[in-house]
Amino acid sequence: MPFVGAFRSAALGAVLALLATAAHAQGPGRAAIASPHGQATAAAGQILAQGGNAFDAAIAVSAALAVVEPYGSGLGGGGFFLLREAGQTPRYRFLDARERAPGGATEDMYLKQGKVSPGLSINGALAAAIPGLPQALAELAATHGKLPLKDSLAPAIRLANQGFTVDRIYRDRATMRLSALRDDPESARLFLLNNQVPPLGAFIRQPELAHTLQRIADDGRDGFYRGVLAEQLVDGIREAGGIWTLDDLANYRTVWREPLRFNLANQRQLISSPPPSAGGVALAQSLAMLQRLPWQSAEPVQRSHYVIEVLRRAYRDRGLLGDPDYVSNPINRLLARNYLTGLADSIDVYQATPSSTLAPAPAWREGDHTTHFAVIDADGNAVSATLSVNLPFGAAFTVPGSGVVLNNEMDDFAADPHGSNSYGLAGSQANAVAAGKRPLSSMSPSFIESPTQLASFGTPGGSRIPSMVLLSVMGFLEGRPVSEWPATARYHHQYLPDVVEHEPGTFSAVQTAELEARGYRLKDLGRSYGNQQVLYWDKAAGTLEAASDPRGVGEAVIAP
């Protein structure tokens, strides 16, 4: 009898193992998380351990980042969520939670005496668009989550109440915006110490933010966009010179859009962000042009030449795009094979193409401090999300008593579409300020999928996002180790200004001289930039990997 019992136990174990294998037949059987902060990664892990899926985990990461990265994202901002729904044929969806201009916004609201007034769209309450993140969290829980919203928000609520420690990234971002933070008493109280940047290891507690998160946990979107908190937000903003109304909040909606999809070589497909992101288009154009060029066999300077030239051409088209609810975007033309072939064929093999010789297009400016994360669960559901408040600490204005740091995404509009904005760049009518409109963005959460592989890419970095993602995707296409994708040395060209920006050490002295001889102007930024988070599932080998950018303080983990 013991033998029979043991046999039955073994048989039962085999059946259970078979069932588990079948349950994960379309997934990796394990989960992976890559986020820019260890506390956010831990929050996602807690939710997965409670039985949540990747979408629940994405809610937990987003809310935790709102606490520990007030400089990068938050309830006062928005973002883009690219979703992969597991199945025999995976389904991709794109949740646009980009902020919207208030109903009282006008095309000339940042002009004084016909000229852009520096600062109005950057600091203070007037710079803030209506946030989208709270709605997105409620929407994800309602449409895709397995757990109640309150469960997925619980780790962030604990974090806000208990506090987190200041790290080097926090100090760097707070230093960048110190003057603006000092100008707002509530922001200074919450995020500074005696009006100075807090030292490493200092504790930041946000009980008001915890209370706001609890309202959303209890009442969903209405906890933020209606009722007591909505009135508190509008009163605080209008007292500080902003133009929000209760109707602006009540009428805010996220939008489900079709992701941008573009076929690459070897049965691979790029799935990325559609407008109001211009990043997906730029990434697809760049990859299509590179496919016609021998970049993989080229020596380093020649490879950089190819990359710079495809970026120059892809970025030129950005000014043609805008909020698809307000303008007609020429996506089909920009991604037409004959058009992209012509762009690739116009590249001189050895010499730079001066941007002045290409057909003109509007230039633009965008804040470069956002945040990004990626998560995949055991079944193969996955989320790649880029969130933002625009500049570090957004508008550097916190609505008193709410803990909500406002974005300054209004600065992503063309402040003067008929002239130039405060950065001296030509405007774009497609991205002009209009009531209810979403500003153009470069945020590019992306997947590349084939029958045997799935890779996820994304980073903060404003206008440099598509170039950073492109460099990481090239690492994937070459088969380099996953850890190298986010670590790749970075350089960037965006059509105008006609200059190659790069991190220190990207090019040697000899390489710099060779590039300059080809006609390039190089600019060492004197600092690193970006904070990429990547995932890789090798379906054929059954392996799962994740990596976090070594420039940041993030954490990538593989979970049971």
Q: Which residues are catalytic?
A: 370
Q: Rounded to an integer, what distance in angstroms lies between the CA atom of residue 232 and that of residue 235?
A: 5
Q: Taking the CB of residue 342, how many other CB atoms lie within 10 A of it? A: 12
Pair of tokens at residue 286: 């760049």
Residue 68, helix vs strand vs coil: helix
Residue among 195, 167, 169 nearest 181 (CA): 195
Pair of tokens at residue 401: 């008593």
Residue with tokens 């039962």: 12
Q: Rounded to an integer, what distance in angstroms lies between the CA atom of residue 553 and that of residue 527?
A: 16
Q: Taking the CB of residue 267, how many other CB atoms lie within 10 A of it? A: 11
Q: Rounded to an integer, what distance in angstroms lies between the CA atom of residue 554 and that of residue 203?
A: 18
Q: Which helix (H) or strand (E) holds 511?
A: helix 509-517
Q: Rounded to an integer, what distance in angstroms lies between the CA atom of residue 310 and that of residue 295?
A: 11
Residue among 493, 483, 544, 482 nearest 521 (CA): 493
Q: Rounded to an integer, what distance in angstroms lies between the CA atom of residue 77 and that of residue 369?
A: 12
Give the chain's length.
560
Instruction: Output phi, psi for 38, to 5 deg.
Output: -55, -35
Q: Rounded to an integer, what distance in angstroms lies between the CA atom of residue 263 and that of residue 287?
A: 10
In the chain, count of helices (H) and strands (E)? 18, 20
Burial class (CB in 10 A: 0-12, 13-18, 19+), 7: exposed
CB 456 within 8 A of CB 534: yes
Q: Rounded to an integer, what distance in angstroms lies between the CA atom of residue 25 and that of residue 29?
A: 8
CB 268 within 8 A of CB 159: no
CB 149 within 8 A of CB 138: yes
**CA-to-CA dists, residue 340 to 10, 333, 337, 343, angstroms:** 59, 9, 5, 5
Q: Taking the CB of residue 330, how many other CB atoms lie within 10 A of it? A: 15
CB 66 within 8 A of CB 58: no
The amino acid sitting at 498 is D
Q: Rounded to an integer, what distance in angstroms lies between the CA atom of residue 505 and that of residue 512?
A: 10
